[in-house]
């Protein structure tokens, strides 16, 4: 702020200003009032003339459109004379020419919905329908009889050269309104032959929407308040389409004569005029389309009754509400605001100059008195006060500043402030900037700078500067009032360091009040959890709970910190995105100067990666232990298989030789067969051990899963027939080929089918069956083929389902438990999955999923190949041949 030599009383200055300003304002108000009323009269007359001009333009446009249509109608009648037939027997020959004439006329004009040639009986002989796609000639089978329509009856009364036009209404087809609504006017003129014989009439269905659009275009500037109504007061054109065509749509309320009852009685009784009511300004003019048509046709001598003329009257009405008609003071001021602002500015400036001349004399007299009072005030305050001139020399200092400097007044007054009391390097401060003119005459209202105290140490002072301006509007001196803020600045710097440390900390820092409401989170919190500060401030940290930490742990946490102790632990929390994470947390109370707990501090570190690493290490250890175990089993299996295979082969060969010798009894042969079966069973066990202990690489080739399944079914066909099992398969058409190891995949399918047969044999259902379904599906990772093998056997125990694919686990009395383990490993080698589920409580379903790495579509050769195919294979106990049916 700037300290002037004298500040006059605001009330006194205002009174002097009003003494000059008020009389001038009164004169200006009187002049503005006179201007306002004269402008009102001029504006009202201009509005009336404009409204009259607009409705005359609309009336002229309607007359022009009707005249053009009558001209077109007479032109068609003239052209019909040129191609008119001599008698009715020539009608078929000339009909093509008439159709061509009508079609060409419709396409060239584009404003006629229909052009028809109708005989005196009301039958349509020719008709052209027009749409936005062009004219279309209507077939003879679709022509109608219109003898019951009023415009046909009116047309029968016409003489040669006369024209009739119907009222504008909505088109009716087949005794119902055509939708969307299509306003039309029918223009009718008779056709006479050269011999004077009447040959029917021409009917033009004019698209009334073109007339309405032209009407609106003619009054585009006031289209929101111009109406076109018929003789009964129903709207034909309104800025609200819902109010139109009330007489056709059965809406008697949508009528001008009801909304403006008193005005309509005046409008309907006069041809044209303009009048003002309480509702506003009404301007109207009458248009008689039938009379216009007669004038254009030159048949004005035809006598038309007054009732008939009135029935065809249209009224063009302009309605200007009272609010738009009347000139308001606000609108007047908006129109002339620049003029009156300039006048008001001039008289205000003049009054201000006169006022300043009067009070300037008093300023100089009170200048010194104010300065003396100001200095006395500075001596009494407990703040440093200083006044220096433009060269930086001290003109005044108070006792508080002398005490701070430990100087006598004589040692300070007259000395240069910057050379003696400001440390080197600190001379560029707020006071210096004012003296150098960098901050203008107003100076810097607040700034901080150092001074040297009596001990030679720097003290930080917060100064508020005030400039004293002389009569030439130049800085004369600067007065500064300052407060020693050295200790506050040091405290502030310490707090700033702590705040920066918290903001830049790599750990999550969270502060809550005593009730657990969050008051502060650092950026690391947002980076870790995804929550912005404004989303969590005022909320409880429980929003991070994942549900994996027990309530007892949270209860122990809260009791520990509430008792004033620190709590350390690991929490499993949830981010804003729903992702879970682990964090190591240290929580401790914050106390005030009295030792009371006011807040709680949480310092947390994200250890999710560490937890994941620990879990990965544990899994790797388990896998390594299992691999070592399997390696031992593999070596043992190889050794056992090698040592037992040769003796078993010798025993098997001996039993086979003995069973082939003649003369043996049935009991010996049965013993030999049992021995051979047990040896074969032991060989299958050795094969399974070798297959599981020595997995080899896949030999991939392209094959279809349905063909592999059929091969596996054929391989165990004997078991299927012996157990009378129905095998039902369903493969969709176009099943793609995939890359598989055919040998291993056939072994997998054979193993699964054998297991299903064993389960069915043990359950012994009434109708044993195996159902095989294959289908293709689309997953996020790409296309897959899914194969289901379901049986109605003994089913699977839910307690064993999770470990059924583990090695050496079996639910059968015979077997090593390696079959399903080998199956799972082969499927996983193909990047697939396998699972076992209950088949609706009866039997088991094995689900195999294999990826389609390269899609290859099979193109069917016949219609039969394109349909889904189901094979049912059955074998009865007394049959020797397999039967297959296809559906």
Overall domain count for the chain: 5
- CA 179 from chain center: how many Å? 35
856 CB burial (10 A radius; 0-12, 13-18, 19+): exposed
Q: Are strands 235-237 and 226-230 parallel, antiparallel or unpaired?
A: antiparallel
More confident position, 680 or 773: 773
Ranking 4-8, 71-75, 333-337, 649-653 by mean pLDDT, the lowest is 4-8
Q: How confident is the model at residue 812 (pLDDT cuts 50, 70, 90)?
A: low
Question: Which pLDDT value is given to residue 310?
Answer: 64
- Separation CA 70–CA 186 (nearest Å): 11
Question: Which pLDDT value is given to residue 769?
Answer: 92
- Separation CA 362–CA 505 (nearest Å): 65
| 429: CB partners within 8 A, 6+ apart | 422, 447, 448, 449
Does one domain contain both 746 and 676? no
Cβ proximity of 244 and 235 under 8 Å: yes
Q: How confident is the model at residue 128 (pLDDT cuts 50, 70, 90)?
A: very high
Q: How far is CA 676 from CA 7, 445, 652, 682, 717, in A?
A: 130, 113, 6, 10, 22
Question: Which pLDDT value is given to residue 1?
Answer: 42
Ranking 278-292, 375-389, 506-520, 525-539 by mean pLDDT, the lowest is 375-389
Work out the number of other CB atoms within 10 angstroms of the CB of residue 474: 11
Structure tokens belonging to residue 337 = 């605001």
652 occurs within a structural domain = yes
Does one domain contain both 727 and 843? yes
pLDDT in tens, 180-215: 888 888 899 998 877 778 888 999 988 888 888 888
Q: What is the arithmetic mean of pLDDT over 657-673?
A: 69
The 3-class SS string of 244-261 reads CCHHHHCCCCCEHHHHCH
Q: What is the arithmetic mean of pLDDT over 736-765?
A: 88
| Phi, psi dihedral angles at 219 (to 5 degrees) | -120, 40
- Separation CA 139–CA 142 (nearest Å): 6
The 3-class SS string of 308-323 reads HHHHCCEEEEEEEEHH
432 occurs within a structural domain = yes
Angle formed by the axes of helices 705-715 and 742-763, nearest 10°: 50
pLDDT in tens, 321-339: 877 765 556 666 677 778 8
User: Is pLDDT at 887 greater than 50 in this prediction?
Assistant: no
Work out the number of other CB atoms within 10 angstroms of the CB of residue 288: 21
pLDDT in tens, 590-613: 998 888 899 999 999 888 888 888
Does one domain contain both 708 and 646? no
- Give the gyration radius of the chain's Cα atoms: 54
267 occurs within a structural domain = no
118 occurs within a structural domain = yes
Does one domain contain both 727 and 800? yes
Cβ proximity of 461 and 485 under 8 Å: yes
Does one domain contain both 748 and 772? yes
Structure tokens belonging to residue 847 = 């689900």
Helix ranges (H only) for 513-607 are 523-529, 533-536, 551-562
Q: How far is CA 233 from CA 216, 259, 471, 697, in A?
A: 18, 10, 80, 95
More confident position, 527 or 429: 527
Does one domain contain both 716 and 794? yes
What CATH number should be reported for the domain holding residue 834? 3.30.565.10
869 CB burial (10 A radius; 0-12, 13-18, 19+): middle
Measuring CA to CA, which residue among 736, 724, 699 is closest to residue 830?
699
257 occurs within a structural domain = no
Q: Is residue 860 helix, strand or coil? A: coil
Question: Which pLDDT value is given to residue 421?
Answer: 84
Does one domain contain both 486 and 510? no
Question: Which pLDDT value is given to residue 589?
Answer: 92
pLDDT in tens, 146-174: 888 888 888 888 888 888 888 888 887 77
Question: Which pLDDT value is given to residue 871?
Answer: 37
Structure tokens belonging to residue 511 = 């502060």
What CATH number should be reported for the domain holding residue 113? 3.30.450.20
Question: Which pLDDT value is given to residue 445?
Answer: 67
In angstroms, how far is the first alpha carbon of the chain from the final one? 102
| 695: CB partners within 8 A, 6+ apart | 825, 829
For 842, the domain range is: 697-886
- Separation CA 729–CA 711 (nearest Å): 13
Question: Which own/partner contact pairs does 597-601 have at CB distance under 8 Å and 24+ positions apart?
Answer: 597/514, 597/562, 597/564, 598/513, 598/514, 599/511, 599/512, 599/513, 599/514, 599/519, 600/511, 600/512, 600/513, 600/514, 600/516, 600/561, 601/509, 601/510, 601/511
Q: What is the arithmetic mean of pLDDT over 743-761?
A: 88
Share of the chain above pLDDT 90, in %: 10
Question: Which pLDDT value is given to residue 158?
Answer: 85
Give the H or E element holding residue 211. Answer: helix 208-218
Does one domain contain both 108 and 203? yes
Measuring CA to CA, which residue among 801, 755, 749, 795 is closest to residue 772?
749
845 occurs within a structural domain = yes
Cβ proximity of 350 and 24 under 8 Å: yes
Question: Which pLDDT value is given to residue 295?
Answer: 82
Where is the domain boundary, 490, 518, 544?
490
- Torsional sign, CA 471, 475, 477, 482: positive
Cβ proximity of 852 and 869 under 8 Å: no
Measuring CA to CA, which residue among 852, 847, 814, 844 is closest to residue 833?
847
549 occurs within a structural domain = yes
Question: Which pLDDT value is given to residue 790?
Answer: 94
Question: Which pLDDT value is given to residue 303?
Answer: 54
Question: Which pLDDT value is given to residue 336?
Answer: 76
Angle formed by the axes of helices 10-83 and 337-380, nearest 10°: 150
Work out the number of other CB atoms within 10 angstroms of the CB of residue 491: 11
pLDDT in tens, 603-643: 998 888 888 888 888 888 877 876 676 667 667 766 766 67
Does one domain contain both 671 and 799? no
Does one domain contain both 202 and 125? yes
| 879: CB partners within 8 A, 6+ apart | 721
pLDDT in tens, 387-410: 888 888 988 888 888 888 888 888
Share of the chain above pLDDT 70, in %: 79
The residue to which tokens 């303009």 are assigned: 274
Question: Which pLDDT value is given to residue 301?
Answer: 61
For every residue of 763-788, DSSP letters joined together read H--SS-EEEEEEEEEEETTEEEEEEE
- Separation CA 297–CA 428 (nearest Å): 99
- Separation CA 229–CA 227 (nearest Å): 6
Q: How confident is the model at residue 850 (pLDDT cuts 50, 70, 90)?
A: very high
Q: Are strands 447-452 and 458-469 parallel, antiparallel or unpaired?
A: antiparallel
Q: Count CA within 13 A, CB hemisphere, residue 229.
A: 26
Question: Which pLDDT value is given to residue 464?
Answer: 83
Does one domain contain both 596 and 618? no
* Most confident of the following: 308-312, 334-338, 346-350, 380-384: 346-350
206 forms bridges with which residues in the sheet?
112, 185
pLDDT in tens, 764-803: 888 999 999 999 888 766 788 999 999 988 887 776 666 6
b (16+ CB within 10 A) / e for 626-665: eeeeeeebbeebeeebeeeeeebeeebeebeeebeeeeee
Question: Which pLDDT value is given to residue 637?
Answer: 66
Does one domain contain both 536 and 439? no
Where is the domain boundary, 686, 718, 734?
686
Average pLDDT value over all residues in the chain: 79
769 occurs within a structural domain = yes
Where is the domain boundary, 625, 660, 686?
686
Q: How far is CA 520 from CA 284, 517, 529, 582, 598, in A?
A: 74, 9, 14, 21, 14
b (16+ CB within 10 A) / e for 241-250: eebbbbbeee
Q: How confident is the model at residue 345 (pLDDT cuts 50, 70, 90)?
A: confident
């Amino acid at each position: 702020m700037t300290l002037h030599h004298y500040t006059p009383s605001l009330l006194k200055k205002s009174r002097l200003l009003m003494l000059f300003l008020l009389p001038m304002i009164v004169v200006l108000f009187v002049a503005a009032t006179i201007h306002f009323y004269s402008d009102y009269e001029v504006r009202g007359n201009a509005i009336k003339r404009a409204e009259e001009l607009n409705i005359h333009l609309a009336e002229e446009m309607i007359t022009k459109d009707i005249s053009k249509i009558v001209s077109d109608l007479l032109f068609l009648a003239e052209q019909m004379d040129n191609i008119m037939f001599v008698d009715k027997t020539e009608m078929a020959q000339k009909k093509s020419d008439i159709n061509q004439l009508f079609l060409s006329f419709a396409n060239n004009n584009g404003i006629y919905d229909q052009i028809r040639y109708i005989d005196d009986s009301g039958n349509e002989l020719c008709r052209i329908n027009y749409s936005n796609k062009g004219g279309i000639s209507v077939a003879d089978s679709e022509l109608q009889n219109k003898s019951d329509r009023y415009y046909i009856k009116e047309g029968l009364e016409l003489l040669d050269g006369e024209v009739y036009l119907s009222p504008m209404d909505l088109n009716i087809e087949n005794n119902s309104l055509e939708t969307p609504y299509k306003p039309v006017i029918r223009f009718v003129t008779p056709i006479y032959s050269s011999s004077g014989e009447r040959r029917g009439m021409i009917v033009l269905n004019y698209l009334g929407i073109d007339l309405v659009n032209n009407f609106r275009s003619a009054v585009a500037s006031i289209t929101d308040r111009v109406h076109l109504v018929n003789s009964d007061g129903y709207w034909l054109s309104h800025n609200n389409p819902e109010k139109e065509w009330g007489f056709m749509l059965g809406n008697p309320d949508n009528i001008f004569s009801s909304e403006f009852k008193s005005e309509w009685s005046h409008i309907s009784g006069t041809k044209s005029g303009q009048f003002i009511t309480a509702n506003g300004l009404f301007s109207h003019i009458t248009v008689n389309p039938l009379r216009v048509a007669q004038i254009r046709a030159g048949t004005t001598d035809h006598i038309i009754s007054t009732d008939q003329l009135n029935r065809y009257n249209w009224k063009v009405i302009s309605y200007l509400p009272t609010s738009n008609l009347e000139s308001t003071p606000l609108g007047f001021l908006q129109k002339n605001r620049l003029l009156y602002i300039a006048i008001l500015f001039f008289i205000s400036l003049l009054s201000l100059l006169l006022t300043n001349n009067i009070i300037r004399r008093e300023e100089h007299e009170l200048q010194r008195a104010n300065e003396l009072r100001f200095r006395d005030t500075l001596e009494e305050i407990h703040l440093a006060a200083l006044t220096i001139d433009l060269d930086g020399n001290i003109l005044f200092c108070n006792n508080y500043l002398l005490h701070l400097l430990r100087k006598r007044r004589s040692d300070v007054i007259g000395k240069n402030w910057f050379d003696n009391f400001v440390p080197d390097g600190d001379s560029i401060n707020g006071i210096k900037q004012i003296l150098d003119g960098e901050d203008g005459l107003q100076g810097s209202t607040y700034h901080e700078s150092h001074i040297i105290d009596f001990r030679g140490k720097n003290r930080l002072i917060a100064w508020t500067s005030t400039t004293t301006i002389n009569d030439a509007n130049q800085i004369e001196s600067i007065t500064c009032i300052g407060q020693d803020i050295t200790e506050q600045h040091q405290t502030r710097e310490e707090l700033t360091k702590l705040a920066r440390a918290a903001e830049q900390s790599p750990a999550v820092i969270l502060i809550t009040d005593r009730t657990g409401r969050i008051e502060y989170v650092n950026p690391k919190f947002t980076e870790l959890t995804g929550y912005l500060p404004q989303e969590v401030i005022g909320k409880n940290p429980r929003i991070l709970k994942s549900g994996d930490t027990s309530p007892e742990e949270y209860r122990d946490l809260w009791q520990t910190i509430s008792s004033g102790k620190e709590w350390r632990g690991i929490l499993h929390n949830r981010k804003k995105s729903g992702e879970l994470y682990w964090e190591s947390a240290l929580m401790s109370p914050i106390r005030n100067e009295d030792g009371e707990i006011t807040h709680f501090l949480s310092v947390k570190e994200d250890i999710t990666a560490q937890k994941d690493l620990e879990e990965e290490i544990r899994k790797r250890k388990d896998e390594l232990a299992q691999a070592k175990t399997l390696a031992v089993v593999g070596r043992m299996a190889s050794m056992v298989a090698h040592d037992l295979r040769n003796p078993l082969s010798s025993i098997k060969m001996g039993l086979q030789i003995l069973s082939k010798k003649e003369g043996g009894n049935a009991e010996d042969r049965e013993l030999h067969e049992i021995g051979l079966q047990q040896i074969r069973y032991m060989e299958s066990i050795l094969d399974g051990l070798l297959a599981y202990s020595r997995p080899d690489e896949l030999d991939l080739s392209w094959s279809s899963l349905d063909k592999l399944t059929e091969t596996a079914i054929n391989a165990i066909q004997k078991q299927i027939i012996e157990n009378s099992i129905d095998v039902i398969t369903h493969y969709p058409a176009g099943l793609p080929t995939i890359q598989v190891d055919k040998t291993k995949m056939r072994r997998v399918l054979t193993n699964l089918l054998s297991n299903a047969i064993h389960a069915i044999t043990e359950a012994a259902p009434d109708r044993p069956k195996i159902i095989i379904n294959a289908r293709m599906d689309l997953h996020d990772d790409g296309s897959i083929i899914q194969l289901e093998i379901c049986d109605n056997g003994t089913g699977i125990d839910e307690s064993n389902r999770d470990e059924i694919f583990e090695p050496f686990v079996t639910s059968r009395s015979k077997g090593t438990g390696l079959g399903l383990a080998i199956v799972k490993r082969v499927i996983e080698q193909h990047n697939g999955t396998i699972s076992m589920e209950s088949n609706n409580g009866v039997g088991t379903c094995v689900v195999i999923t294999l990826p389609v790495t390269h899609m290859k579509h099979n193109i069917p050769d016949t219609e039969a190949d394109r349909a889904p195919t189901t094979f049912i294979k059955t074998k009865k106990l007394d049959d020797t041949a397999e039967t297959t049916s296809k559906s």
